[in-house]
Chains A and B, each alone.
Chain A
Amino acid sequence: MTEEIPRLEALFIWFEDTAVGAAVRESVWAFAVIESVHLLGLCLLGGSILLVDLRLLGFGLTRQPIAGVAAAARRWTVLGLSIMVATGIPLMLSEALKTYYSTAFWVKITTLPFAIAFTFLVRERMTREPSLTVSFRTRIVAAVSVALWFTVAAGGRWIGFS
């Protein structure tokens, strides 16, 4: 009689057995170096997200139209997010089973799709409106954006403490 392994857990065991996962885990330097690049991605993503959210709250680049600030920040958000995903996947694969048992990981990974969807659908659509000015609505959108990304980032950092 063998104990049945839940299918999701089996998937995470498979993640850990992937060539990339094994390579990162067995290297002395790889995890540390990839993690460092992950943090540089955080600076780009966080900085470009916050620049627009500050503007929507009525701070920062208030002399510039919202649409202009959002359009200029967009490429850096996309670049930062791309760096974070590209580095986050190998980090996760290298310790997949640990992440499976980490509450912080599940908080992060379930909030992430909402943060991405909110940024590129809801916030994006609003900031494209010409002559948009700071209002209760822009403040709410900025607050939700900050809250979602804060949850993702804090959850990500906390994986390391579990």
Chain B
Amino acid sequence: MIERFLGWLGETPWSVALLESLYAWPLIETSHVLTLALFAGTAIMLDLRLTGLGFRDVPVSAFVDRVLPWTRAAFALMAITGLLLFYSDPLKYYQNLFFRVKATFLVVAGINIGFFHARTHRTIADWDDWPVPPRAVRIAGAVSLLAWSAIVVSGRLVAYNWFECEIQPQPAFVNWFAGCSSGGAP
């Protein structure tokens, strides 16, 4: 069902034009990678503060109030350029093992952010200027650092076709996780 829809999406004129474009695709991809410096870069600076590894003289609230808006704006750019890249070849990315690893870690990062803002962040007044924040805050920072690192690495590896459905035989786990057995491969 999803495979059929994505197959159809990949045959729409704009998708084909994007994939075959000489400059549009590389420019979108370059924007995606360069925005990483602002998005993941500032997110990592906040995580370093949360873990107590860096910026110990800066209150956590200064990062949350003054730097996080930049991180969020950069994420919007990452999402827009990322969705455009996905749209250029939907079925291929959908069945790409590393794309699915990346999507999984995006969910992990999202849950971590949700939990932090709903629970951990509420008591910020108590530990705002602690050089090394309490354990729960440090854990949130560490999970974020690991999740975004995994997202960057798996995102880069999406470019490799080592585990493509067309390339068989593959370990059963690979075929299952990449969704190859569900009849998506033509």
Contact = CB atoms under 8 A, between A and B. Distances in A.
Interface of A: 28, 32, 35-37, 39-40, 42-51, 54, 59-64, 68-69, 72-73, 75-76, 149-150, 153-154, 157-158, 161
A39 B36 contact: yes
Contact of A47 (B26, B33, B41, B58): B41
B143 interface: no
A158 B160 CA distance: 17
A43 B62 contact: no
B121 to A, nearest CB: 18
Contacts of B36: 39, 42-43, 46
Given A43-B37, A61-B58, 9 more contacts: A36-B153, A45-B41, A50-B37, A50-B38, A54-B70, A61-B63, A62-B66, A69-B58, A157-B30
Interface string B118-160: 0000000000000000000000000000001100110011011
A32 B55 CA distance: 32
Interface residues of B, number: 34
Given A59-B70, A61-B62, A64-B57, A153 B37 contact: yes
Please classify the interface of chain B as helix (H, G, I), strand (E, B), loop, or mixed, using the class held by over half of its residues.
helix
Given A61-B67, A161-B26, A47 B152 contact: no
Contact of A51 (B26, B40, B45, B162): B45
Please classify the interface of chain A as helix (H, G, I), strand (E, B), loop, or mixed, using the class held by over half of its residues.
helix
A60 B67 contact: yes
Contacts of B152: 36, 39-40, 43
Contacts of A68: 57-58
Given A32-B160, A59-B70, A61-B67, A47 B45 contact: yes
A153 B34 contact: yes
Contact of B156 (A28, A35, A60): A35
- In this complex, the member of B38, B44, B54 whose beta carbon has the largest number of chain A beta carbons within 10 angstroms is B44
Contact of A50 (B33, B41, B55, B63): B41
Contacts of A47: 37-38, 40-45
A83 to B, nearest CB: 12
